[in-house]
């Protein structure tokens, strides 16, 4: 029965080697340590999230080894930063490694720089058709993601240094979620980059990431938005920890889809056609990104409704942000209907995905800028 | 066919068609946009100001001020429910059939017409090959059915991922369930009763007991979302439902009392938490329930959820010192009142009504001149209106404690005539004891003509000496008294008027400088005389004194633009807060949540379960296996899978 072995699919557990188990052990040990040390600050939901996150990170790290390495890197650097603080906020500007590398502000600045470099490198790789340059660009993107996550982790810690009651997870205002947006979009891209074994799309996806980087820089230097602010009462809830990240997986996926759509449209017009993946591949990727985004956006909106029911007294208030979330949802629901039920393919859907990004951006940013409502935590 | 029937059928077909559903989604999207661009549920006056009478009336007719509860919007939602339900009704049997069937009746001919197919020559033993093929299908997670053909061949029909079909059913059922839940929580019962004329909204401000029955919703109202403002110590058993430009009174099956309301602040001054200690009184309870609610932590009792929503003043007790700014009297009058209460100042035609509007205990303000400093609490302020006999009102906001501006302390009181304006502030410099008395004494001296000769005499003695020329002294004193008389009428602007009238243009600047100097010197004496009268230590000559006098003279000049002679200085308060509660009864919530769970399950089933079918046509005679594969969604994954299976099966079959 030798021939059967060739097609036998191994289950996930069968595929795990000792490194995978060690990785999971480190993650779980870390969570248990956090639980023992901080359990009395957490409610039942937060304890669930802690171990849920440990399980999720283990699973994702098993499925995608590169992500596992990222998690370990973020952990090591963040813990190093925390150790260097000695519980004193002022050391952010005194200790060399903190000041120039891994204090949250520095790390996020490194993320910004690395994303810009990565974009330039990706385009250069595309232009020169150079596989090596492509690998460099990919490495730069990974480095940017590493620094971005370290920045957020250390920021989380720094918020507790300001005062215990000020401390909170850094997903509470526009500045913090923009960093999160860059990171999630980049990770989604890197996932597909590895899966499709193509680095040609990096330049496109990094366009939208670098637009966000531009916003972060403006927001930092013009508005000093990087300063950590305490949470308003409405945001003091465990819901924030799941509602916001779920939403940004959605936003990130939709952005990724739009950039793939852009490359699709260019390739179908004969621009860069020879350098980009085939139209079928692009079309398929666009669909997958929107599917992921739609699923997460749905979950995020539902979580938001549940939170609203607890904080605002109703699961749906037709607040501008809620309404725009619905519009975004309807938009992609229509897109998916046309593709899945009608079997529609081609430039029309690509245009739609690209224009969908404008609607998504308005829901994400425009509502905060032009409309007011219950959801005005990130005003410009 | 009956033409009428065919019309109905066509209509139903249209309703359940994809085209119609997608169009509905688009229309719903556009309609939703309107409600976010046009601010909803504002007071109607705002809309009139914004759009003018004509457009206001038109927009009101279209229901644009409350789009999401307008009839046409509900009709769109209703169409969506109908369309989705028809869609489910029409497609579910089909989906269930696809879910169940193995499609084992496929013929060899039809399989050969597939776009994804291959034929393998098989030399090995038939039973072994068959065994291996079945094992292959098992390993790949396919379920199968074997059907013997008439010619001795066998067809293995296999399927995997047909649960995907449930995704379709789940997502669409979910939409109907969610919309149903939403409708339960809408105000349809009221809308119907309003249309039939049983109920109407109340638009005038009445005490609760005076609100007529037709504007009251009974305890049995299945769903509502209302507000209640509860002062500390008060107990209420009704909530207010805002509808368009009016309200309804919602009766509650229990009463809610507020024991205490608390705001906690961060070190930076931003609010950290709002908490209310509530007591629920219900005849059904042996003991009243005591429970503290806060933002994100509501209390649910008898299906009614009680939320901490906002807060306001609950009728704080206030005690003022009132100065009449334009009488040379040094003693303030006492005045007491309550927020939301009224008082009176003055007598006869000149009498003013005081309406106490708001009291704030904490005011977090950034007082640094460049705006870069940290905001901090500057203490309480009180907002009130002074209304004259013609009904004209001026609004004032006055801070209790002096505020530090550029290193100096000032008592601030702002005034404005309309809500649209910003407050214009009168800045009264505090004296050395951080009290307003120094200025008030000074002001009294400056207004009291009987004191001018004394002021003039003191100045003349200081500047001309005790033994100066009496004639000149007399002259000097006279001109000083004249200047003070003018200044007392209207401060600097009155002096400027006099200069403009009497002094040739060339000399105006010089004389203005002289007058300002003289007024300043006079102010020094007047201030000290005021202090003498109050037995307070006198001012010394210093830059601080100069600044104090400059500020005092400015304040004196500005008080003529203050709009009233009365300055109300808050000197005591008894804080009483009111908690803003939101009360919700929402029977649709569990339906919406149920629908949400179904929706998520459906979406994942639809997108991440891939339906694939494999047919293996085994022909022992020809020693051949025919392989065909299909999926209801053709995409790259399917192509890759087909290619992989073709290779692997070729190996097994041969």
Q: Over the stretch A223-255, which tens digit does the pLDDT of each residue have?
A: 888 899 899 998 999 999 999 999 999 999 999
Determine the pLDDT at residue A4: 45
Provide the 10 A C-beta neighbour count for residue B632. 16
DSSP B17: S
Q: Closest Cα to residue B571, out of B256, B335, B272?
A: B335
Mean pLDDT for the stretch of residues B351-360: 93
State whether residue A13 sits within 8 Å of chain B by CB: no
Determine the pLDDT at residue A351: 97
Spell out the alpha helix ranges (H) of A163-239.
174-196, 202-223
Please report, for chain B, the start and end positions of each structural domain, with discontinuous segments joined by +. Answer: 3-97, 102-163+610-653, 193-222+224-314+578-585, 335-429, 440-570
The strand pair at B154-160 and B612-619 is best described as antiparallel
Q: Which two tokens stand for residue B161?
A: 């991922």
- Phi-psi category of residue A94: left, alpha or beta, with phi > 0 → left and psi -120 to 50 → alpha: alpha
State whether residue B187 sits within 8 Å of chain A by CB: no
Residue A380 has pLDDT above 60, yes or no: no
Record: contact B32-A237, CB cut-off 8 A: no
Q: Class assignment of domain B102-163+610-653?
A: alpha beta
Tens digits of per-residue pLDDT, B441-463?
999 999 999 999 999 988 888 87
The strand pair at B246-265 and B216-217 is best described as parallel
On the 0-12 / 13-18 / 19+ scale of CB atoms within 10 A, A75 is: middle
Nearest-angstrom CA–CA distance, B101 and B110: 17
Report the gap between the CA of A211 and the closest CA in chain B (Å).
Answer: 26
Nearest-angstrom CA–CA distance, A37 and B105: 64
Of A9, A237, A323, which has the smallest distance from its Cβ to B296's Cβ? A237
Record: contact A341-B18, CB cut-off 8 A: yes
Q: Which two tokens stand for residue B373?
A: 């400093």
Residue A9 has pLDDT above 80, yes or no: no
Please report, for chain A, the start and end positions of each structural domain, with discontinuous segments joined by +. Answer: 93-231, 243-380
Residues 224-243 of B with CB under 8 A from A: 225
State whether residue A272 sits within 8 Å of chain B by CB: no
* Residues whose CB is less than 8 angstroms from the CB of residue B238 and which lie 6 or more positions away in sequence, other chains included: B208, B228, B249, B250, B251, B252
Mean pLDDT for the stretch of residues A3-19: 75
Report the gap between the CA of A359 and the closest CA in chain B (Å).
Answer: 11
A-chain CB neighbours of B633 within 8 Å are 340
Mean pLDDT for the stretch of residues A5-25: 84
Tens digits of per-residue pLDDT, B88-108?
999 999 999 999 999 999 998
* Cα angle A334-A337-A341, degrees, rounded to a multiple of 5: 160
Considering the entire predicted model, what is its pTM? 0.86
A-chain CB neighbours of B132 within 8 Å are 3-4
Record: contact B652-A3, CB cut-off 8 A: yes
Tens digits of per-residue pLDDT, B167-187?
999 999 999 999 999 988 888
B537: helix, strand or coil = coil
Mean pLDDT for the stretch of residues A78-96: 93
* Residues whose CB is less than 8 angstroms from the CB of residue B481 and which lie 6 or more positions away in sequence, other chains included: B452, B453, B456
Residue A290 has pLDDT above 60, yes or no: yes
Does the structure's ipTM exceed the value 0.90?
yes
Cα-to-chain-centroid distance, residue B122: 74
Report the gap between the CA of B236 and the closest CA in chain A (Å).
Answer: 19
Record: contact A318-B270, CB cut-off 8 A: no
List strands edge to edge, sheet with B117-121.
B117-121, B624-631, B612-619, B154-160, B143-148
Record: contact A313-B582, CB cut-off 8 A: yes
B-chain CB neighbours of A314 within 8 Å are 185, 225, 584, 586
B222: helix, strand or coil = coil
Report the gap between the CA of A337 and the closest CA in chain B (Å).
Answer: 8
Tens digits of per-residue pLDDT, B559-605?
999 999 999 999 999 999 999 999 999 999 999 999 999 999 999 99
* Cα angle B364-B370-B376, degrees, rounded to a multiple of 5: 20
Range with lowest mean pLDDT among A33-37, A203-207, B262-266, B581-585 = B262-266
Q: Closest Cα to residue B642, out of B597, B620, B610?
A: B610
Please state, rounded to an integer, the average pLDDT across all residues of chain B: 90
Torsion, Cα A253 A254 A259 A262, to 10 degrees, reads 140
State whether residue A355 sits within 8 Å of chain B by CB: no
Record: contact A333-B586, CB cut-off 8 A: no
Q: Which two tokens stand for residue A342?
A: 């009608």
Q: Please provide the size of chain B in residues.
A: 654
B540: helix, strand or coil = coil
Please state, rounded to an integer, the average pLDDT across all residues of chain A: 92
Record: contact A342-B18, CB cut-off 8 A: yes
């Amino acid at each position: 029965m030798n021939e059967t072995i060739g097609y036998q699919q191994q289950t996930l557990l069968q595929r795990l080697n000792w490194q995978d188990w060690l990785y999971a052990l480190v993650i779980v040990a870390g969570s248990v340590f956090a639980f023992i040390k901080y359990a009395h600050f957490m409610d039942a939901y937060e304890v669930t999230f802690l171990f849920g996150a440990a399980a999720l990170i283990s699973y994702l790290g098993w499925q995608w080894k590169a992500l596992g390495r990222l998690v370990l890197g973020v952990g090591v650097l963040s813990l190093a930063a925390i150790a260097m603080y000695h519980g004193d906020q002022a050391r952010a500007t005194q200790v060399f490694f903190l000041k120039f590398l891994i204090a949250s502000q520095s790390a996020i600045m490194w993320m910004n720089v690395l994303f810009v470099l990565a974009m330039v490198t990706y385009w250069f790789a595309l232009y020169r058709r150079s596989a090596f340059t492509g690998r460099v660009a990919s490495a730069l993107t990974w480095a940017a993601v590493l620094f971005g996550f370290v920045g957020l982790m250390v920021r989380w810690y720094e918020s507790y240094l300001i005062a215990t009651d000020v401390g909170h997870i850094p997903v509470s205002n526009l500045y913090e979620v923009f960093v999160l947006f860059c990171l999630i979009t980049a990770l989604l891209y890197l996932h597909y980059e590895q899966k499709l074994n193509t680095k040609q799309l990096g330049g496109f996806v990094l366009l939208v990431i670098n637009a966000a980087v531009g916003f972060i820089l403006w927001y930092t230097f013009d508005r000093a938005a990087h300063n950590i602010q305490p949470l308003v009462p409405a945001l003091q809830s465990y819901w924030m920890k799941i509602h916001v990240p779920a939403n940004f997986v959605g936003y990130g996926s939709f952005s990724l889809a739009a950039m793939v759509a852009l490359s699709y449209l260019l390739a179908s017009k004969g621009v860069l056609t020879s350098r980009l993946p085939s139209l079928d591949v692009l079309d398929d990727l666009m669909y997958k990104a929107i599917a992921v985004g739609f699923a997460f956006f749905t979950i995020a909106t539902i979580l938001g409704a549940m939170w609203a029911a607890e904080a605002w007294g109703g699961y749906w208030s037709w607040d501008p942000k809620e309404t725009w979330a619905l519009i975004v949802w309807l938009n992609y629901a229509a897109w998916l209907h046309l593709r899945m039920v009608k079997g529609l393919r081609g430039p029309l859907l690509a245009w739609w995905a690209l224009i969908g990004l404008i609607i998504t951006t308005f829901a994400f940013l425009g509502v905060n800028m032009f409309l007011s409502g219950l959801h005005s935590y990130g005003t410009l | 066919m009956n033409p009428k029937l065919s019309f109905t059928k066509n209509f139903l077909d249209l309703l359940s068609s994809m085209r119609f559903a997608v169009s509905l989604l688009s229309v719903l999207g556009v309609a939703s946009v309107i409600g976010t661009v046009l601010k909803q549920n504002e007071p109607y006056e705002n809309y009139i100001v914004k759009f003018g009478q004509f457009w206001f009336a038109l927009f009101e007719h279209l229901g644009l001020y409350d789009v999401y509860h307008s009839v046409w919007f509900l009709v769109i939602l209703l169409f969506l429910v109908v369309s989705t339900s028809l869609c489910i009704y029409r497609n579910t049997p089909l989906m269930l059939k696809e879910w169940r069937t193995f499609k084992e009746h496929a013929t060899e001919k039809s399989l050969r017409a597939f776009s994804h197919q291959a034929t393998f020559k098989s030399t090995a033993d038939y039973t072994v090959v068959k065994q291996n093929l079945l094992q292959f299908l098992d390993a790949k997670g396919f379920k199968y059915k074997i059907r013997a053909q008439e010619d001795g061949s066998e067809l293995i029909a296999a399927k995997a991922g047909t649960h995907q079909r449930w995704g379709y059913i789940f997502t669409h059922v979910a939409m109907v369930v969610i919309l149903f839940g939403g409708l339960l929580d809408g105000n349809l019962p009221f809308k119907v009763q309003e249309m039939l004329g049983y109920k109407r909204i109340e638009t005038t401000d009445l005490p609760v007991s005076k609100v007529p029955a037709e504007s009251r919703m009974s305890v049995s109202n299945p769903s509502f979302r209302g507000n209640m403002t509860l002062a500390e110590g008060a107990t209420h058993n009704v909530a207010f439902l805002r509808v368009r430009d009016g309200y309804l009174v919602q009766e509650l099956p229990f009463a809610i009392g507020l024991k205490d309301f608390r705001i906690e602040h961060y070190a930076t001054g931003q609010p950290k938490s709002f908490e209310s200690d509530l007591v629920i009184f219900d005849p059904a309870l042996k003991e009243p329930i005591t429970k503290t609610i806060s933002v994100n932590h509501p209390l649910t009792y008898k299906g009614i959820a009680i939320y901490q929503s906002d807060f306001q003043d609950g009728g704080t007790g206030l005690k003022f010192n009132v100065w009449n700014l334009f009488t040379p009297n040094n003693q303030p009058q006492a005045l007491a009142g309550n927020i939301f209460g009224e008082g009176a100042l003055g007598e006869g035609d000149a009498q003013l009504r005081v309406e106490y509007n708001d009291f704030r205990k904490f005011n977090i303000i950034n007082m640094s001149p460049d705006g870069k400093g940290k905001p901090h609490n500057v203490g309480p302020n009180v907002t009130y209106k002074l209304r004259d006999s013609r009904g004209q009102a001026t609004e004032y906001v006055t801070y209790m404690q002096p505020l530090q501006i550029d290193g100096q302390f000032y008592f601030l009181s702002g005034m404005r005539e309309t809500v649209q304006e910003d407050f214009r502030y009168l800045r009264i410099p505090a004296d050395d004891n951080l009290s307003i008395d120094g200025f008030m004494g000074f002001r009294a001296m400056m207004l009291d003509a009987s004191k001018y000769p004394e002021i003039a005499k003191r100045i003349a003695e200081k500047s001309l000496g005790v033994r100066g020329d009496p004639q000149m002294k007399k002259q000097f004193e006279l001109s000083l008294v004249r200047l003070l008389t003018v200044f007392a009428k209207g401060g600097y602007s009155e002096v400027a008027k006099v200069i403009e009238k009497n002094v040739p243009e060339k000399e105006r600047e010089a004389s203005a400088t002289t007058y300002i100097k003289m007024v300043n010197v006079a102010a020094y004496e007047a201030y000290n005389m005021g202090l003498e009268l109050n037995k307070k230590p006198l001012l010394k000559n210093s830059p601080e004194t100069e600044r104090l006098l400059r500020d005092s003279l400015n304040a004196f000049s500005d008080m003529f633009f203050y709009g009233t002679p009365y300055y109300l200085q808050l000197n005591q308060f008894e804080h009483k807060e009111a908690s803003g509660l939101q009360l919700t009864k929402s029977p649709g919530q569990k339906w919406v949540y149920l629908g949400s769970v179904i929706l998520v399950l459906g979406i994942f089933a639809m997108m991440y379960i891939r339906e694939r079918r494999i047919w293996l046509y085994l022909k022992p005679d020809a020693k051949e296996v025919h392989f065909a594969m299909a999926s209801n969604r053709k995409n790259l994954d399917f192509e890759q899978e087909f290619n992989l299976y073709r290779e692997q099966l070729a190996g097994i079959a041969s």
